[in-house]
Amino acid sequence: MAKAITQVRRMELSEEEQRQRDLQEIEAMLIEHKESLQALMNVLDKVYKSGGMDLAVGLFDQGDRVLDVLVKAVDNPGAAKTLKNGLLLVGTLGQLDVEKLGPVIERMNSGLDQVAQWSEGDRSLAQILGKTNWKETLLFLLSFLKGVAETEKKQQKKGKTGWIATAGLSIAGFMFMKKKGWLD
Amino acid sequence: MSKQVNITLNGQNMSMPGDITVMQALKEQSIDIPAVCYHPSLGPIETCDTCIVQVNGEFVRSCSTFIHNGDVINTASEEVKKAQDIAMDRILYNHELYCTVCDYNNGRCEVHNTVKQMKIEHQSEPFTPKPYEEDNSHPFYRYDPDQCILCGRCVEACQDVQVTETLSIDWSLKRPRVIWDHGVSINESSCVSCGHCSTVCPCNAMMEKGMVGEAGYLTGLSKDTLRPMIELTKNVETSYSWIMPVSDMESAMREARVKKTKTVCTYCGVGCSFDVWTKGRKILKVEPQVEAPANGISTCVKGKFGWDFVNSKERLTKPLIREGDTFREADWEEALNLIKKKFTEAKETYGPDSLAFITSSKCTNEESYLMQKLGRGVIGTNNIDNCSRYCQTPATMGLFRTVGYGGDSGSIKDIERAGLVLIVGSNTSESHPVLATRVKRSHKLKGQKLIVADLREHEMAERSDLFIQPKAGTDLVWLSAVTKYIIDKGWADKEFIRKRVNGFKEYVESLKPYTMEYAEKITGVPKRQIIEIAKAVHEASSTCILWAMGVTQHLGGSDTSTAISNLLLVTGNYGKPGAGSYPLRGHNNVQGASDFGSMPDRFPGYEKVEDDDVRAKYEKGWGVKLSAKPGLNNHEMVEGIHNGNVKVMYIKGEEMAMVDSNINHVHEAFEKLDFFVVQDIFLSKTAQFADVVLPAAPSFEKEGTFTNTERRIQRLYQIFEPLGESKPDWQIIMEIANHLGAGWEYEHPSEIMAEAASLMPLYAGVTYERLEGYNTLQWPVAPDGTDTPLLFEEEFPFPDGKARLFPVQWTKPMEYEEEYDIQVNNGRLLEHFHEGNLTYKSKGITSKTPSVFLEVSPELAKERGLEDGTVVRLTSPYGSVKVPCHITDRVKGKEVYLPMNDSGEGAINYLTSSRADKDTDTPAYKEVKAKMEIIQQTGEDPLPRINHRRGNPNPQIGVQVEKKWARPDYIFPGDLVKKGALKRG
């Protein structure tokens, strides 16, 4: 019963009471989750002792700047290319038919053994010519190159021309050069 | 009935209905094809070209091509894929793809989903930025041209669904973009902030500001860090098959912290429903759903963007008790005990009828039910009312007299499909925006006829085929003249009248005075226009009459409403689709409050308090004795306080101190009360008079149901916990009742509804299970859950099943002394709801409409020397207001318009009288005359430059995709594929 009023007096006691209520609530929560909290404390202890805590604080504290630096550092053509090539390689791994590659690698190894023998041992042309199974060797080389040539045609549009050929030859070349000691 | 046709689809023969498109046929067969610009609520737009398939060897867009007998459809060939890829390439040329750090990556982005669906790996042309800045000018949403794919959905929605006609795409630019009006910034345009564009945008180009930087885990990064990240992603990405899964994972993670809850809008009576996306207590956006029954994807500025008030710092969070000249915060127990003491004292000293209860048209049905149960069952009085008496009670009276049910005859869909819509005394596009869009759309695109009768030339009047401006308060005369003319011409629906209506002969007698000449004399409307209306009603396939306060808030409001219903009965416009009477309800729950007995003479379900059988039913149901004496209504309560009979008042959720009429008189009454309890979410003007103020919770913080103007009952779900110590109204009422010994034990509003349903035949089959999600029921609801979308199909709810023509006579409006020469029309605004207690808390809305203003005609301005910004004082016999002028030709002559968005010196109700409708006591708000004097000649125009009324819409039909096709750089993808084939072949 009275005129319209607009002033509101906030409850003064309520701050103290509010604090009490909040403390009670937290107390109840701590008791309810006693076990998981103990486990958490354990982990935190170990992180703290190893210095990980400090590291994390630094990271979160300067989070924006850190991210900024990271992103800007990576934002250069070289880095982008590396990441891109890395992703491409991973993608292409899926395309390699490693099962079929197995026997080829075996043969590669034998071939390299022969090369090793040649580089470290006898240098007699006549001897090698005599010992070699020419038919098998030629068949191996020719069928490999045949496959490369055919695939090359198919891949013209996608721009992945001669990848396998290059890869294969570079692996072979690399191994040759290593054995020869040209790369040391 | 459409006949079946035979088609071959990817080699399979099948039979389909003959009136569907290829896209619909494919959907039927669950065949997936891409579609970016198509939207079920907008129809085919034809801008994206991704839905291309082959029909009989030709490439066509499946969205807009209908199937014919013998068609051979191919969706799987290489060529079809090529054409679709070309279309998608063009989209990606316009859109920078960075899904993982995009705010719209929530599973619904059409660009993202279509890229996934089509297994796109690369795009042939890289994205290039557009030469336009982001437009951030508008307070609620922003446009990023760099992301815009020019699908035109926003344009389609603005032009043909919302029909505000602000947006278009400028196809003549080198890089086309969306423009507002003729190319101004968003905030300076005619945009009404309805939100349709941001709702339908398939990507993040048009986006709600609440989402920007908030929706994703990484989207909140500063722009400096984000840009290099986007660049890095694009340089590193080998193909989109990487981007998609990573962003999908992030999108799934978002589900963990973005909550999506359905609610029903708390503003107007249309009852839009939608999902609200929230993160903690932050509101990200309102997301309308296609399946929402009243509104679909539509919203208005308040429902889409007007929710700042929920988290406002001014919310009441603790009970307040008056002490001297301040309020003191108190604990609930103290407040409740004080209420118990005072209520009991008053009841025992002065009797139960010394207490009065006002429930709310804004609170839920369950809350209204409990308030009237408190008054009737616990205190023992029938002094119960609510603010629906201030608006539509006369309409309810008119309909009770004639057809037996006081609610809309059908649904919004019926209004949509009517042959003729007649709007009397309603500013529909501002008061019921989404409902108005249906009328605007049908009128613009489907040939619906529109006739408007009003004092003021508002938007609906501008669009109408015929607009009449009768003198204030004379609608009954021309309506009756129209009815008489129709009967005299032999155009009455004789079959319908014979079979389904009583009282025809007496009614025709009563119409004798309403000749065309008489009508012209009284209303000032030329005879030929009134005859045109009669002809239009006669020629229309079906007629819906919509009306609002222009009809009801007069001395003869009930009678005018009766006259409308009589006209519809005579022309057979009841009980069939697309026809009927539509008194548009103001608040979100006006219908519900009335349904649940918030009135002094009726129980829930409109059964009379004086009926012994009804009372016995409630006495049994509640276990108490009930009073048989009808109580006091709003105005009678005010008088009761003045003459000392009413000592105590309890109001919830209503601003009676501002919205009742003659508020000087009301304020004096409040000051006389012995004890006054007000329950609200803010310290409203009404609350300032209280002895105890109780903090309540709004719709976002509780469960319950609302009933909209379509009689549609809808459930709202709780989104937030009540703020601070506020509580849902139903809990507060229960606690008060229990302190008074009631022993109520409701644990959830569903229990309250169950109890109400068991006592009210109207809501008999209503349960919360039946209302889950977006399911709704329109009353009457039978016990087995069958509801009634269209009323009166079989019979009218009278003992003999027939309707009644009810003779009425014209009541002359209030007369004033000559010095009061200005007619002060009043009403709502689009962007502020009523006095603005909720909407002024929105910074964005307030920035565009900061205050009240007086619309003054150019003629009056010239005559009195007024300018934009002149502050005037209007004085009526009851009070005065001070308000700045705005000159516009929406009003004419000596009629001014004062909207109600003010609670201070500009509040309209300082001018209104206590005179009311003779049958219902609804205040005659519209019968106000005043005299005007200038207080301050020059001042700032009260409508700022960025108010939408200053914009210039750009009407057109849809996005005009033909202009896109006419561009020299456009080739239909199908043609491109054919060319390529020719080259190779």
All structural domains of chain B with their residue ranges: 4-254, 320-391+590-781, 421-583, 822-950
DSSP 8-state assignment for residue B801: S
Among chain B residues, the shortest Cα distance to A11 is held by: B329
CB contact under 8 A, B671 and A1: yes
Tokens of A20: 């009490």
Helices in B351-417 by DSSP H: which ranges? Answer: 365-373, 393-402, 412-417
Categorize the per-residue pLDDT at A181 as very low, low, confident or very high, splitting at 50, 70 and 90. low
Query: In which element (H, E) is residue B213 found?
Result: none
B664 touches chain A (CB under 8 A): no
- Which chain A residue lies closest to B647 (C-alpha atoms)? A1
Give the residue-averaged pLDDT of B785-789: 96
Cα distances (angstroms) measured from residue A94 to each of A98, A103, B649: 9, 19, 79
Residue B572 has pLDDT above 80, yes or no: yes
Same domain, A56 and A115: no
Residues A47 and A120 in one domain: no
Chain-chain contact of A75 with B231 (C-beta, under 8 angstroms):
yes
Nearest-CA distance from A12 to chain B in Å?
A: 9
User: Which of A9, A80, A83 faces B328 most closely, judged by CB atoms?
Assistant: A9
pLDDT at B653 over 70: yes
**Domain presence at residue A160:** yes
Query: Is A162 part of a structural domain of the chain?
Result: yes
Three-state DSSP at B42 gives: coil
Least confident range from B112-121, B137-146, B628-637, B917-926: namely B112-121
B543-547 and B580-583 as β-strands: parallel, antiparallel, unpaired? parallel
Q: Which residues in chain A are contacts of B222 at CB distance < 8 A?
A: 64
Residue A167 has pLDDT above 80, yes or no: no
B705 near B677, Cβ under 8 Å?
no
Pairing mode of beta strands B320-323, B326-329:
antiparallel
State the maximum Cα–Cα separation within chain A, in Å, rounded to a whole number.
126
DSSP H helical ranges for B489-515: 494-500, 504-510
The per-residue pLDDT for B231 is: 77
A90 lies within 8 A of chain B by CB: no
Cα(B356)–Cα(B628) distance, integer angstroms: 16
Q: How far is B41 from chain A (nearest CA, A)?
A: 42
What confidence category does residue A106 fall into, taking pLDDT thresholds of 50, 70 and 90?
A: confident
Among A145-154, B781-790, B876-885, the range scoring the smallest mean pLDDT is A145-154
**Coil, strand or helix at B476:** helix
Q: Which of A78-87, A124-133, B618-627 has the lowest mean pLDDT?
A: A124-133
Residue B968: count of CB within 10 angstroms of its CB: 5
Confidence of residue B985 (pLDDT cuts 50, 70, 90): very low
The whole-angstrom distance between B327's CA and the closest CA on chain A is: 5
Instruction: Give contacts of B 241-300 with A, CB under 8 A.
Output: 242
Name chain A contacts of B245, Cβ cutoff 8 Å. none
Q: Averaged over B675-687, what is the pLDDT?
A: 97
Task: Find, among B598, B698, B668, the residue nearest to B309 by Cα.
Answer: B698
B676 touches chain A (CB under 8 A): yes
CATH of region B4-254: 3.10.20.740
Q: Is A83 on the interface with B (CB under 8 A)?
A: yes
Beta-sheet pairing, B449-453 with B420-424: parallel
pLDDT class of B107 with cuts at 50, 70, 90 = confident
In angstroms, the CA B913 to CA B143 distance is: 48
Nearest to B688 among A5, A10, A75 (CB): A5
How much of chain B, in percent, has pLDDT values that exceed 70? 98
**What are the angstrom distances between the C-alpha of A44 and each of A38, A39, A47, B365?**
10, 9, 5, 53
- State whether B673 and A1 contact (CB < 8 Å): yes
Q: Does B313 touch chain A (CB under 8 A)?
A: no
Q: Minimum mean pLDDT among A67-81, A105-119, B785-799: which range?
A: A67-81
Nearest in space to B594 (alpha carbons), one of B355, B379, B779, B836: B779
Write phi, then psi, for B872 (nearest 5 degrees).
Answer: -120, 160
Residue B923: which region, alpha, beta or left (left: phi > 0; alpha: psi -120 to 50)? beta
A68 CB neighbours in chain B (<8 A) are 224-225
Closest chain A CA to residue B220: A64
Do the beta carbons of residue B404 and residue B703 sit within 8 Å?
Answer: no
Residues A67 and A111 in one domain: no
The listed CATH number (3.40.720.10, 3.40.228.10, 3.20.20.140, 1.10.274.10) that belongs to domain B421-583: 3.40.228.10
- Structural domain includes residue A92: no
Instruction: State the Cα–Cα distance between residues B468 and B456, nearest whole angstrom.
Output: 10
Size (chain A), residues: 184
Mean pLDDT of the residues in chain B: 94
Q: pLDDT tens for residues B230-257?
A: 777 676 655 666 667 778 888 888 887 8
CA distance B592 to chain A (A): 31
Angstroms from A10 CA to nearest CA on chain B? 5
Query: With b meaning 16 or more CB within 10 Å and e meaning fewer, what string describes B795-827?
Result: ebeeeeebbbbbbbebbebbebeeebebbbbbb
Whole-number percent of chain B with pLDDT over 90: 89
- Quickly count: other Cβ atoms within 10 Å of residue B600's Cβ: 25
What's the pLDDT score for residue B39? 95
User: Of A39, A74, A109, which one is at a domain's C-terminal end?
Assistant: A74
- Give residue B754's identity as a one-letter amino acid code: A
Using DSSP's 3-state secondary structure scheme, residue B358 falls into: strand
Q: What is the percent of chain A with per-residue pLDDT over 90, rounded to a whole number?
A: 0
User: Domain B320-391+590-781 belongs to what topology?
Assistant: Rossmann fold (3.40.50)
Q: Does the bond joining B780 to the residue before it have cis omega, within 30 degrees of 0? A: yes
Would residue A36 count as lying in a domain?
yes
Which of B257, B542, B587 is closest to B391 using CA atoms?
B587
Grouping H, G, I as helix, E, B as strand and the rest as coil, residue B882 is: strand
Does the ipTM surpass 0.90? no
- pLDDT reading at A160 higher than 60: no
- The DSSP result for B441-456, as a single string, is HHHHHS--EEEEE-SS
pLDDT digits (tens, 9 = 90+) for A22-38: 889 889 988 998 898 88
Rounded CA gap, B36 and B203, in Å? 10
Longest dimension (CA), chain B: 103
Dig out the tokens for B186 from the structure.
């968003």
Partner-chain contact A4 B222, CB within 8 Å:
no
Q: Phi and psi dihedrals of B302, rounded to 5?
A: -70, -45
Could you give the percent of chain A with pLDDT greater than 70? 66
A14 to chain B, closest Cα gap in Å: 9
Residue tagged 């000559």 (tokens)? B818
Does residue A175 form part of some domain?
yes
Instruction: Give Cβ neighbours of residue B960 (< 8 Å, ≥ 6 apart).
Output: B168, B169, B171
Q: Which of A8, A72, A160 to mutate to test the interface with B (most CBs of B within 10 A)?
A: A8
Name the residue among B40, B766, B712 with its Cα closest to residue B411. B712
Q: Do B329 and A72 touch (CB under 8 A)?
A: no
Q: What pLDDT does residue A157 have?
A: 46
- How confident is the model over B442-500, as pLDDT tens digits? 999 999 999 999 999 999 999 999 999 999 999 999 999 999 999 999 999 999 999 99
Q: Is residue A137 part of a domain?
A: yes
- Under an 8 A CB cutoff, do B672 and A68 touch? no
Q: Which residues pair with B66 in a beta bridge?
A: B21
H or E element: which one contains B197?
Answer: helix B196-200
Give strand pairing partners of B259: B278
For residue A135, give both structure tokens.
Answer: 């038919």
Number of residues in chain B: 985
Integer Cα distance of B362 and B790 in angstroms? 25
Residue-number span of the structural domain to which A23 is assigned: 14-74
- Rounded (5°) CA angle A103-A106-A108: 110
Cα B295-B296-B302 angle, rounded to 5 deg: 50
Task: Tell me what pLDDT residue B100 has.
Answer: 77
What tens digit of pLDDT does each residue of B744-757 get?
999 999 999 999 99
Is A128 a member of any domain? yes
Q: Chain B within 8 Å of A1 (Cβ-Cβ)? A: yes
Q: What is the pLDDT of residues B358-413, one digit of tens each?
A: 999 999 999 999 999 999 999 999 999 999 999 999 999 999 999 999 999 999 99
Between CA B144 and CA B158 the distance in angstroms is 18
**Which member of A7, A64, A72 has the closest CB to residue B327?**
A7
The verdict on B238 touching A (C-beta cutoff 8 Å) is: yes
Name the amino acid, one letter, at B266.
T
Cβ separation of B318 and A11 shorter than 8 Å?
yes
Alpha helices, H only, B680-772: 729-739, 749-759
Say if CB B139 and CB B848 are below 8 A apart.
yes
> Does any CB of chain A come closer than 8 Å to the CB of residue B775?
no
pLDDT at B583: 97
Distance CA B240, CA B112 (A): 10
pLDDT digits (tens, 9 = 90+) for B207-218: 999 998 887 777
Inside any domain, residue A55: yes
Closest chain B CA to residue A74? B232
For the domain covering B822-950, report its CATH number.
Answer: 2.40.40.20
Q: A5, B224: Cβ pair inside 8 Å? A: no
Is residue B437 pLDDT above 50, yes or no? yes
